[in-house]
Amino acid sequence: MKTFYITTPIYYPSANLHIGHAYCTTIADAIARYKRLAGYEVFFLTGSDEHGQKIQRTAQAENKTPLEYVDPIVENFKELWKKFYISNDDFIRTSEPRHEKVVQEIFKRIQDNGDIYKGEYTGLYCTPCESYWTELQLDENGCCPDCHRPVEKVSEEAYFFKLSKYADKLLQHIEEHPEFIVPTSRRNEMINFIKSGLEDLCISRTSFDWGIPVPGDERHVIYVWFDAVINYITPLIHNPDMKKFWPADIHLVGKEIVRFHTIIWPAMLMAANLPLPKQIYGHGWLVTDSGKMSKSKGNVVDPVALVEEFGADAIRYFLLREITLGLDGNFNRDALIQRINSDLANDLGNLLHRTLNMIGKFQKKILIASTEGTDLDKSFRLEALDTAAEYRRLMDNVQLSDAVKVVWKFIGRANKYIDETTPWKLAKDETKRQELANVLYNLAESLRIVGILISPFMPATAEKIFEQLKVSSEPKLDDAEVFGLLEANHEVGKPEQLFPRILIED
Ligand code: MSP
């Protein structure tokens, strides 16, 4: 069986997650579910990034140990992912012994290869971002170029990773593998970044102790980014059944951390003689009218409240449809409600409801074997198959929002097919029994196909459709590419509302 390995970044448990984090995890989940649907053996990893000075300081301020502080937050992450129907196969916490062991091994391996040395570090450190910056990289106010908060001058004995040594090899790899960094804009940024010169990277600290100790020199803890990226191999490296998943197919990451994933992480892997991931996909940010969502700006949208209000599938649908992967996208409550009412309640909900209602009313819930039918029937069936083929092409290309749109175009087509064939009129004419049976059969089949195609985006809704159609709830993509799998005499269920319309308050 073909394998597929996808990861999200591991999130900092410094604050509760917002809908921007849920966006990233939802994309990864949709891709993972799609690959399972397409017959791959999938490993989907997410987790929490728990070490570092910032966590230690926050915990101290609350009179807690770092673990006492992070434990409940990490539990909340896990709860949130359940609420969003995230189908991760493992959840890695960097504070787990299994991770500590692998980080120390990789450190040792790189050190033994001669690419880690001890020196003196004086640098500018942004604690909230856990990032070192050079003078040149600071913003116009001399602050962190990412979060624009003040940086601290740090001077201490430290271990260094010979990142500079890998500049040429990295450039060569990026140039020979155009698919390694996506989208192209990020790829170009990284090429320029490497060409402007790479400095060796300080990878240990002595000023705090909440981290993984340097093997053999326990006064030092390993730099949190060096520790964090290794999470991607922690579950695989010592497990003979899991090794097949490396190299990862996609590391999905936000655009501001592409640098860590396309420069530092690959150089570390080269230094440890391990293969590089196949692709790093840098997605855009979810923004509101006041910019990128962040706690400091006070513009965060709470995903738990949102799920409770609208349900996870509606939010997943909105995020996957509205935002083109790779670009920033706007999160807006009115637009969400608009989509729920028009695309979900009206287009999809009505299609299912009308179809099942008519099969119930005109044929006592029983499908009747269909014949070839009219030209309209034939072209409708072809359109269903074209939709499934186009969907596969787009999903294979990770064009999620286009794939969603293609499915909804077909849903629109199916609703129009009802209006064009007017089954309620056919039902009044005894001589049109077969014509009616054909239309209803085609509609039920198209809903079966739609259910399969939307299952990576809206798993609970797909299940409801399967339940109401009374078909297997273990869908396969191949079954969406065949028209006519429903048996004649198949009995469908009763229509139940998929999405209630949301009343818009003035
Ligand atoms: N801990 C590091 C990642 C280490 S991976 C080895 C980290 N954590 S984070 O919690 O700050 O961010 C995790 C991810 O969430 C990043 O990919 C980031 O881009 C993403 N997002 C944070 N805010 C976001 C939005 N407003 N919109 C979309 N994604 C957002 O960085």
- Is residue 294 within 8 Å of residue 144, measured between CB atoms? no
Q: Are residues 235 and 349 in the same domain?
A: no
**Which of 310, 342, 366 represents a domain boundary (last residue)?**
310
Q: Which residues of the chain have pLDDT under 70?
A: 15, 295, 505-506
Amino acid at 388: A
44 lines ligand 1 (CB under 6 A): no
Q: Would you say residue 25 lies in a domain? A: yes
Dump pLDDT digits (tens) for 360-414: 999 999 999 999 999 999 999 999 999 999 999 999 999 999 999 999 999 999 9
Q: Are residues 69 and 14 in the same domain?
A: yes
Q: Are residues 284 and 377 in the same domain?
A: no
For residue 37, the enclosing domain spans 3-310
Q: Would you say residue 66 lies in a domain? A: yes
The number of the ligand 1 atom at minimal distance from the alpha carbon of 252 is 17
Residue 121 is predicted with a pLDDT of: 85
Residue 6 is predicted with a pLDDT of: 98
Residue 506 is predicted with a pLDDT of: 59
Q: Would you say residue 81 lies in a domain? A: yes
Q: Would you say residue 491 lies in a domain? A: no
Q: Would you say residue 503 lies in a domain? A: no
228 lines ligand 1 (CB under 6 A): yes
Q: Are residues 64 and 199 in the same domain?
A: yes
Give the CATH number for residue 455. 1.10.730.10
Rg for the chain, CA atoms, rounded = 26
Question: Probe ligand 1: pick from 6, 12, 19, 21, max atoms within 8 Å of CB?
Answer: 21
Residue 256 DSSP label: G
| Residues contacting residue 301 through CB under 8 Å, at least 6 positions apart | 18, 19, 288, 293, 331
Q: Are residues 65 and 168 in the same domain?
A: yes
Q: Are residues 401 and 254 in the same domain?
A: no
256 lines ligand 1 (CB under 6 A): yes
Single out the residue of 391, 435, 432 nearest to residue 411, CA to CA.
391
226 lines ligand 1 (CB under 6 A): no
Q: Are residues 357 and 303 in the same domain?
A: no
Q: Are residues 18 and 84 in the same domain?
A: yes
Distance 287 CA to ligand 1 centre (A): 13
Residue 15 is predicted with a pLDDT of: 64
Question: Probe ligand 1: pick from 7, 24, 27, 95, max atoms within 8 Å of CB?
Answer: 24
Residue 38 is predicted with a pLDDT of: 98
CA–CA separation, 23 vs 379, rounded Å?
37
252 lines ligand 1 (CB under 6 A): no
Q: Would you say residue 178 lies in a domain? A: yes
CA–CA separation, 265 vs 228, rounded Å?
10
9 lines ligand 1 (CB under 6 A): yes
Q: Are residues 136 and 182 in the same domain?
A: yes
Residue 131 is predicted with a pLDDT of: 74
Ligand 1, atom 13, lies closest to the CA of: 11
Number of domains in the chain: 2
Give the CATH number for residue 182. 3.40.50.620
Q: Would you say residue 326 lies in a domain? A: no
Ligand 1, atom 9, lies closest to the CA of: 11
CA–CA separation, 481 vs 479, rounded Å?
5
**Which of 252, 276, 310 represents a domain boundary (last residue)?**
310
| Residues contacting residue 179 through CB under 8 Å, at least 6 positions apart | 278, 279
Q: Are residues 339 and 390 in the same domain?
A: yes
What are φ and ψ of residue 328, in 5° steps? -70, 155
Q: Are residues 173 and 70 in the same domain?
A: yes
Single out the residue of 369, 505, 334 nearest to residue 444, CA to CA.
369
CA–CA separation, 68 vs 445, rounded Å?
53
Beta bridge partners of 155: 122
Q: Would you say residue 316 lies in a domain? A: no
- The Cβ of residue 330 has, within 10 Å, a number of other Cβ atoms equal to 11
pTM of the model: 0.94
CA–CA separation, 259 vs 253, rounded Å?
10
**Which of 310, 343, 375 represents a domain boundary (last residue)?**
310
Q: Are residues 338 and 287 in the same domain?
A: no
